[in-house]
Amino acid sequence: MRAVVQRVRCAEVRVEGVRRADISKGILVFVGVEQGDGRGDVEYIASKVLGLRIFEDETGRMNLSVRDINGDVLVVSQFTLLGDARKGRRPSFDRAEPPQSAREIYAGLVEHLKEEWHLVKEGEFQAHMEVFIVNDGPVTILLDSRKTF
Long-range contacts of 52-59 (CB under 8 A, 24+ apart): 52/5, 52/27, 52/141, 54/5, 54/7, 54/27, 54/139, 54/141, 55/7
Choosing from 6, 30, 55, 78, the catalytic residue is 78
Choosing from 35, 80, 126, 140, the catalytic residue is 80
Residue 80 falls in the annotated catalytic set = yes
Strands 62-64 and 72-77: unpaired
Residue 78 falls in the annotated catalytic set = yes
Choosing from 6, 30, 55, 79, the catalytic residue is 79
CA atoms of 44 and 114, how far apart (whole Å): 15
Residue 148 falls in the annotated catalytic set = no
- DSSP three-state, residue 1: coil
CA atoms of 38 and 123, how far apart (whole Å): 21
Catalytic (active-site) positions: 78-80
